[in-house]
Structures are given as structure tokens and as C-alpha cells.
């Protein structure tokens, strides 16, 4: 009888020890190391928090409204708008009325029209605010990200060798031109199309591409021509891949993705929501680092805490009211700046 | 009565391991891709675990179908406990599904999976206790 319990105890200890050994020997050493000391100049004061009934994404500020998409089931063809004057959600814009097969990955709001990218068929759909379709443009090539500015669209993605490409497309002439520029990171990082993948942000003067995992931002002018880069305040990071027995490529899960989201305000300030967490230490590790897009220099940072056990996911800055809007998993918070 | 309970619990564990080993073996690529996404496992360890896990599950099945199936019960207990600890640790350090059990198990949420796993650990544990009691009683008589 005694030996039975002894065997069980030995098995329990062996199980714990086995996982502990895996945990210790496979600890990732990837960690953000700052090149410049972070200048935290103010503490954010929570103004309001609104509980959300669904997970929202891609927050954009346009004329006293915050806009969102949701990739949750039954909501992938809708754009949600939140009125900042009365702090209420208005009726969503439901594009499923004209097309049931929709997955809106991102969208742009220009001159009271909405242009959304339907990931399911690689199309850009121009529509009004009543979800009435104006026209549709299908890009003839696979890509991963896009940014629209006036009549031009910047597409980026990876080719068959997973190398990054940037291309400009004219909505008017329908011409595609390569947006060629060289950067040492294109060679430094393996499979640059994936390792440098990121999200585009813009204001009326600048467009930037913010990779999720790399300490660099690529900047573009109003014509979507490359015009430089900004090195972020932390050092270079590893970005590794794993290969399966069939040579399929997998992103190493120990890679860090410190650049959660960005925002360019009316004063050409670039805000980068940076996650400083590591495998061991995850909570309350986010900062908003602020750079000047005209001087391409770092200016200061804001410390932003997790809310309701969620990391901040998207940010927007309302310069006229000195407010910062932060989207969490279940909450939309506003802070006084 | 105890013998019937013991046989039923053994049957549940047998079904579980046949089901999960079968799902791994018919879709080894899926199992490999699950391991690839694990922060707890390094790239070079994956090729060993890819074959070691289904093999140890088959070994457990082979012990469970024996007339004297105590080793099978101990192995079931050890495997289920290790997998449960792995899931708990993994979920605390990354945000992906660490399970490749196949079929219905893939549909479970993290918390549901942990509850199911703990239940199976308890089933193995109870089976061991009952089996040992039956054996001791049989020896006494």
C-alpha cells in the first residue's frame, strides 16, 4: 500500500521536474534593450472607460468618431463607429448587405467615403457611409498590407522567396510600379517579407510602415514614395524561424513583437505602443514612445498600464481635446494628455 | 463492484489513448505544427517529440490491454499529469493552443481542456488505487 503512494509521488515529482527542465533549458533570451533612456514625462489619468460587448480592432479617429472593425464571428463585414460627443456607439455600417463573404482586414476614411480591404478576395471596395458600394478594385497579386493615400495605394508583402516587396498602385491609371528602396534589414532579416511585416499608419502629411518585430520604421511621403527610416529607441532583435520536416516555415514563438500599434497625430508626432514584456514578465510592460516625424528623433514616452487583465492594443490621439484613446480587449479607455 | 469500476475506468483511458494516438498518427503534420508553435519546446527537440509522444501513447495502450494492466494505469497517470502541467505552464507564457489531441479536444477552450485533463488524471489515480486494492484483496484470499 505504501509503495503505491510512493510510486504516485515519484511520478508527480517526475512530471513537474520534466516540464520545469523544458522551461529552464528553452528560456528565450530575446529581450528589448534600450539604446536611449526612456523619458517618461507624465502619468496618464484615466478619463473614461467603456465596456465593450465584442472584441474590436483597427481603431481610427475621424471627425469626432472612433471607427473599428471586429474579426469576431458574424462581425467581419461591419465597421463600428463610436461618437465621441455622446460616448455612444452608433448603428454599425453593415457591408454584409451587399456582400456576405467579407473579412474587412483594414479600412480608410476619405472625404466621407469608406474604402475597405476585403481579405477574402484581395479587393478594395469603395463605399459610402450607408454601405452603398461605389466601386471595387481587385489587386492582381497576393499581398499582406496596404495603405491608401488619395489616388495611390501602397501594397507590400512577400514574394515566392519570402522577400519583402513594396508596390505603388494608381487607382486612376490602374498602373502598378515597384516602390524600390534598399535597406540593410532586408538582407539582415531572413524571410524579410515576414520578419518585417507590419501595419501602415498615416496622417495628412506622412505615411509610415511599422513592423511588429523590428526596431525600425519606414516612412513614405504623400505620394507613397519611400523617404527614410527611423530607428527606434531599442536595439536590434532576433527574429527566428522554424522549419518542419516538410520544409514548411513556422515563426519561432519565442520572437518578440514589441511594436503593438502606432498612430500619427496632427502635429506629425508618431506614437508607438511598445510592449516591453518578456516570457517571464508580462504584465504592465507597455509604453507609448513618441517620435517626431519631421526630425525623425525620439522625444518622450508615456507609461500605459494594462486594464482589466488586457494589454493595450490600439491607440488614437485627439489633439483638439488633448485625449488619448486606448483600445483593450474588453474596454475602450480615454486618458487626459 | 470495484472490479467493474476498475474495468470501466481502464476502458475510458484505453479509448482516450487510442483516440489521441490515432489522431496524431494520421495527421503527423498537424501534430508537428502544434509543437512548432510551442514556446516550451526548442526547434531541435520537436523532431524527437514528434515520434516519442505517439510511441509512448501506443506503449500505454499495449500495457492497458494486458490482463495485468497496472503499468498502463501508471503510464496513463504520468502522461496525463505531465500534459496537464505542460498546458498550464504554456498558457501562462504564450497565447496559443498547445493541444494536438485531435477531434473534439481541439474544440475545447483552454479552461475546458484543463478540466478534462484533471478529470482524466483523477480517473487514472482512482484506477490505480482500486486496482491495487483488488489485487491485495485477491492475494489475501
- DSSP for A122-191, written as a single string: TEEEEE-TT--EEEEEE-SS--SEEEEETTEEEEEEE-TT--EEEEEEETTT--EEE-----HHHHHSTT
Alpha carbon distances (Å) from B105 to A73, B58, B82 = 21, 19, 17
Residues A75-128 pLDDT 10s:
999 999 999 999 999 999 999 987 778 999 999 998 889 999 999 988 999 999
Mark yes or no for CB contact B128/A8 under 8 Å.
Answer: yes
Domain ranges, ordered by start, for chain B: 2-140
Say if B93 is an interface residue toward chain A (CB within 8 Å).
yes
Mark yes or no for CB contact B132/A1 under 8 Å.
Answer: yes
How near does any CA of chain A get to the CA of B62, in Å? 20
Return d(Cα A330, Cα A72) in angstroms, integer: 13
How near does any CA of chain A get to the CA of B50, in Å? 10
Interface of B with A in 55-74 (CB under 8 A): 74
Alpha carbon distances (Å) from B33 to A43, A147, A226, B44, B54 = 43, 32, 37, 14, 15
Return d(Cα B7, Cα B12) in angstroms, integer: 9
Query: In the structure grid, which three cell numbers stand for residue A58, read together?
Result: 483597427
How near does any CA of chain B get to the CA of A249, in Å? 10
Q: Is a pLDDT exceeding 80 seen at residue B140?
A: no
**Burial of A101 per CB tally in 10 Å (0-12, 13-18, 19+):** exposed
Return d(Cα A225, Cα A181) in angstroms, integer: 9
Alpha carbon distances (Å) from A43 to A91, A272, A302, B28 = 34, 17, 7, 51
Helix, strand, coil % in chain A, rounded to nearest 5: 10, 45, 45
Contacts of B94 in chain A (CB under 8 A): 253, 279
Closest by alpha carbon to A304, among A38, A9, A16, A37?
A: A38
pLDDT recorded at residue B106: 65
Q: Which residue of A has its CA nearest to B79?
A: A15
Residue keyed to cell 502522461: B79
Q: Is a pLDDT exceeding 90 seen at residue B26?
A: yes
Query: In the structure grid, which three cell numbers stand for residue A37, read together?
Result: 533612456
Residues in CB range of A127: below 8 A, 6 or more apart: A95, A98, A113, A114, A115, A116, A133, A134
Return d(Cα B80, Cα A7) in angstroms, integer: 15
Contact predicate B116/B101, CB 8 Å: no
Interface probe for A, chosen from B27, B29, B30, B40 (most Cβ of A below 10 Å), is B40
pLDDT recorded at residue B10: 92
Q: Is a pLDDT exceeding 60 seen at residue B46?
A: yes
Return d(Cα A327, Cα A43) in angstroms, integer: 18
pLDDT recorded at residue A298: 97
Segment A188-197 shows an average pLDDT of 95
Q: What's the whole-number average pLDDT of chain A?
A: 92
Q: Is a pLDDT exceeding 90 seen at residue A216?
A: yes
Q: Which residue of A has its CA nearest to B122?
A: A8
Mark yes or no for CB contact A28/B38 under 8 Å.
Answer: no
Residues B76-102 pLDDT 10s:
999 999 999 998 888 776 655 556 566
User: Terminal CA-to-CA distance of chain A, rounded, Å?
Assistant: 68
Mark yes or no for CB contact A244/B132 under 8 Å.
Answer: no
Say if B118 is an interface residue toward chain A (CB within 8 Å).
no
Say if A19 is an interface residue toward chain B (CB within 8 Å).
yes
Global pTM value: 0.85
Residues A276-286 pLDDT 10s:
987 667 788 89
Say if B36 is an interface residue toward chain A (CB within 8 Å).
yes
Say if B77 is an interface residue toward chain A (CB within 8 Å).
yes
How many residue contacts between A and B have a Cβ separation below 8 Å? 69
Instruction: Give percent of chain A with pLDDT exceeding 70.
Output: 98
Say if A1 is an interface residue toward chain B (CB within 8 Å).
yes
Of B86, B96, B128, the CB nearest to A4: B128
How near does any CA of chain A get to the CA of B130, in Å? 11
Amino acid at each position: 500500500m505504501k509503495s503505491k503512494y510512493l510510486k504516485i509521488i515519484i511520478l508527480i515529482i517526475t512530471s513537474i521536474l520534466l516540464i520545469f527542465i523544458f522551461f529552464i533549458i528553452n528560456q528565450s533570451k530575446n529581450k528589448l534593450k534600450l539604446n536611449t533612456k526612456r523619458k517618461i514625462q507624465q502619468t496618464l489619468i484615466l478619463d473614461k472607460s467603456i465596456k465593450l460587448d465584442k472584441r474590436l480592432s483597427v481603431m481610427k479617429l475621424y471627425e469626432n468618431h472612433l471607427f473599428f472593425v471586429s474579426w469576431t464571428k458574424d462581425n467581419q463585414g461591419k465597421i463600428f463607429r463610436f461618437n465621441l460627443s455622446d460616448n455612444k456607439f452608433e448603428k454599425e455600417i453593415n457591408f454584409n448587405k451587399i456582400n456576405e463573404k467579407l473579412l474587412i482586414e483594414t479600412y480608410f476614411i476619405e472625404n466621407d467615403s469608406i474604402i475597405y480591404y476585403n481579405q477574402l478576395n484581395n479587393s478594395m471596395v469603395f463605399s459610402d457611409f450607408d454601405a452603398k458600394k461605389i466601386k471595387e478594385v481587385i489587386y492582381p497579386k497576393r499581398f499582406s498590407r496596404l495603405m491608401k493615400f488619395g489616388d495611390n495605394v501602397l501594397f507590400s508583402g512577400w514574394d515566392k522567396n519570402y522577400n519583402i516587396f513594396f508596390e505603388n498602385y494608381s487607382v486612376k491609371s490602374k498602373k502598378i510600379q515597384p516602390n524600390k528602396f534598399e535597406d540593410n534589414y532586408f538582407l539582415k532579416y531572413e524571410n524579410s517579407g515576414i520578419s518585417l511585416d507590419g501595419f501602415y499608419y498615416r496622417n495628412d502629411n506622412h505615411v509610415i510602415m511599422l513592423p511588429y518585430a523590428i526596431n525600425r520604421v519606414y516612412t513614405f511621403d504623400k505620394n507613397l514614395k519611400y523617404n527614410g527610416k527611423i530607428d527606434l529607441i531599442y536595439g536590434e532583435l532576433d527574429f527566428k524561424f522554424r522549419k518542419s520536416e516538410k520544409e514548411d516555415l513556422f515563426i519561432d514563438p519565442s520572437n518578440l513583437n514589441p511594436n503593438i500599434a502606432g498612430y500619427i497625430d496632427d502635429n506629425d508626432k508618431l506614437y508607438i505602443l511598445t510592449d516591453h514584456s518578456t516570457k517571464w514578465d508580462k504584465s504592465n510592460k507597455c509604453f507609448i514612445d513618441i517620435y517626431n516625424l519631421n526630425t525623425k528623433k525620439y522625444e518622450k514616452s508615456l507609461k500605459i498600464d494594462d486594464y482589466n487583465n488586457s494589454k493595450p492594443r490600439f491607440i488614437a490621439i485627439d489633439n483638439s481635446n488633448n485625449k488619448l484613446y486606448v483600445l483593450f480587449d474588453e474596454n475602450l479607455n480615454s486618458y487626459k494628455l | 463492484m470495484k472490479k467493474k469500476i476498475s474495468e470501466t475506468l481502464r476502458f475510458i483511458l484505453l479509448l482516450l489513448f487510442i483516440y489521441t494516438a490515432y489522431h496524431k498518427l494520421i495527421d503527423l503534420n498537424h501534430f508537428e505544427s502544434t509543437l512548432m508553435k510551442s514556446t516550451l519546446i526548442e526547434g531541435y527537440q520537436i523532431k524527437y517529440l514528434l515520434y516519442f509522444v505517439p510511441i509512448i501513447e501506443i506503449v500505454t495502450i499495449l500495457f492497458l490491454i494486458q490482463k495485468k494492466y497496472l503499468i498502463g494505469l501508471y503510464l496513463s497517470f504520468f502522461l496525463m499529469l505531465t500534459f496537464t502541467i505542460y498546458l498550464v505552464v504554456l498558457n501562462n507564457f504564450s497565447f496559443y493552443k498547445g493541444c494536438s489531441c485531435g477531434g473534439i479536444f481541439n474544440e475545447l477552450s483552454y479552461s475546458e481542456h484543463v478540466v478534462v485533463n484533471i478529470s482524466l488524471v483523477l480517473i487514472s489515480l482512482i484506477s490505480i488505487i482500486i486496482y491495487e486494492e483488488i489485487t491485495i484483496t485477491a492475494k489475501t484470499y
